[in-house]
Amino acid sequence: MSEIVVNGAMLACTMAMPPGTSTFAVLPTTFVNAEGKPAATIMDNKPMANIPPFGMCKSQLNPATAAATAAALGTPTPGPCTPIIPAPWAPGSSTVMVGNKPALTSSSSCMCTAGGTISIKNAGQKSTSTK
């Protein structure tokens, strides 16, 4: 069973250098809360507004990492993370809607154009769940 994701959830990226986590930000635009925190939708995928950087990125698809690697004469060198998320989180909840959009659940993930998969490490709350 998946938990509904709320403001303050912990995110993880597969291309981030350890610990590779950041804190999810949900803007209170829908006025829907779970445990007193704004509930997220699949459309809460905006870089910097919702998904902050994860520190250093090891993907060579990240221009900063590619430049750092080139400057190190080919030695793989991480560069600063700048998430670019072209599509919504998937899958969203099939039963719970938040502001006419599917709720974001702890089983959802999204892709960064640098090749990383961003997932929900901790939903930010546990008592409100969906099937």
Encode the chain (131 residues) as per-residue pLDDT tens digits.
789 999 999 999 999 999 899 999 999 888 899 889 999 999 999 999 999 999 999 999 999 999 999 999 999 999 999 999 999 999 999 999 999 999 999 999 999 999 999 999 999 986 655 55
Q: How high is the pLDDT of residue 127?
A: 61
Q: How high is the pLDDT of residue 128?
A: 52
- Report d(CA 4, CA 88) in Å as an integer: 16
Q: How high is the pLDDT of residue 46?
A: 97
Domain for residue 12, yes or no? yes
Q: How high is the pLDDT of residue 44?
A: 97
Q: How high is the pLDDT of residue 109?
A: 98
Q: How high is the pLDDT of residue 88?
A: 98
Q: E-strand spans in the chain? A: 2-3, 10-13, 21-23, 33-34, 37-38, 56-57, 79-80, 97-98, 101-102, 109-111, 117-122, 129-130
Q: How high is the pLDDT of residue 130?
A: 57
Domain for residue 18, yes or no? yes
Domain for residue 41, yes or no? no
Domain for residue 43, yes or no? no
Q: Which domain holds residue 20?
A: 1-36+54-126
Domain for residue 42, yes or no? no
Q: Give Cβ neighbours of residue 10 (< 8 Å, ≥ 6 apart).
A: 21, 22, 23, 24, 120, 121, 122, 124
Q: How high is the pLDDT of residue 126?
A: 65
Domain for residue 83, yes or no? yes
Q: How high is the pLDDT of residue 131?
A: 55
Domain for residue 131, yes or no? no
Q: How high is the pLDDT of residue 14?
A: 97
Q: Considering its fold, how many domains does the chain have in total?
A: 1
Domain for residue 69, yes or no? yes
Q: How high is the pLDDT of residue 120?
A: 97
